[in-house]
Amino acid sequence: MDYWTFRTEFFELACFHIHQVYAWKSDFDKNNISRWVKEKRLIKLRNSFYSFPEYLNTPNFSLFVANYIYMPSYVSLQYALAFYGFIPEAVVDITSVTSRKTNAFINTFGRFTYQKIQPEYIFGYKLMKLEIGNHFRLATPEKAIVDLLYLYPFYDSPGEMEALRLDLDLMWEDIDMEILWDYTYRIRNSQLHKRMENLVKTYHL
């Protein structure tokens, strides 16, 4: 198999699964993939998932990868809050939530972690467009906060809330309190409601 013929067929997908390759050519020799990974013509994302090194310099492409290699999921929690500028620290892991089991992957594009929530709580995200035209799912600021307080119960005191170091100006200007409480009550968890009340008091929202 000629690499450039293969590349022409799959490059615009940005990421692909080996099943897509077999759907294209049922007799495809998977050894080609292994060879092209060794030659750095392809990047292995996880078992059976691949991309091309040309996308390494595409802004936010790793967020598209995060969605693609573990569906359904969307980027949320600490990474989403850092993306919007709500927390000052750089976040190394690309954090997501999923209705599947908790998981983690490492590849050339980054370190990806996934926290499990119930399927009915997969909401509150928006589609963000990459410069290459693909889209990725990113939690709204309100849902990133709700997901964080739901999944991390140790945020249960004013001191822990202050330790989040959420940007006060952005909290006051960009958080829609009606949406924040709507998302909170859609998750039927009394402890989450108490944590949210604590956050509102701590940041004077």
pLDDT tens-digit profile of 149-197?
999 998 888 888 888 899 999 999 999 999 999 999 999 999 999 999 9
Residues 34 and 133 in one domain: no
Q: Which residues contact 126 (CB under 8 A, 6 or more apart)?
A: 137, 138, 140
Q: In total, how many domains does the chain have?
A: 2
Cα 10 to the chain's mean position, in Å? 23
Cα-flanking dihedrals φ and ψ of residue 90, to 5°?
-70, 140
pLDDT by residue (tens digit) across 91-110?
999 999 999 999 999 999 99
pLDDT tens digit sequence for 2-57: 999 999 999 999 999 999 999 999 999 999 999 999 999 999 999 999 999 999 99
Same domain, yes or no, for 138 and 43? Answer: no
Structure tokens of 19?
């099943």
Residues 6+ apart with CB under 8 A from 19: 48
Helix 3-10 to helix 31-38 angle, to the nearest 10 degrees?
Answer: 90
Structural domain including 16 reads 3-57
Cα–Cα nearest to 170, from 203, 144, 148: 203
pTM: 0.95
Burial class (CB in 10 A: 0-12, 13-18, 19+), 15: buried
Residues 32 and 116 in one domain: no
Same domain, 142 and 119: yes
Residues 88/107, Cβ–Cβ less than 8 Å? no
Are 15 and 114 in a shared domain? no
Among residues 57, 80, 98, the one where a domain terminates is 57
Residues 130, 186, single domain; the answer is: yes
- The pLDDT score that the predictor gives to residue 191 is 95
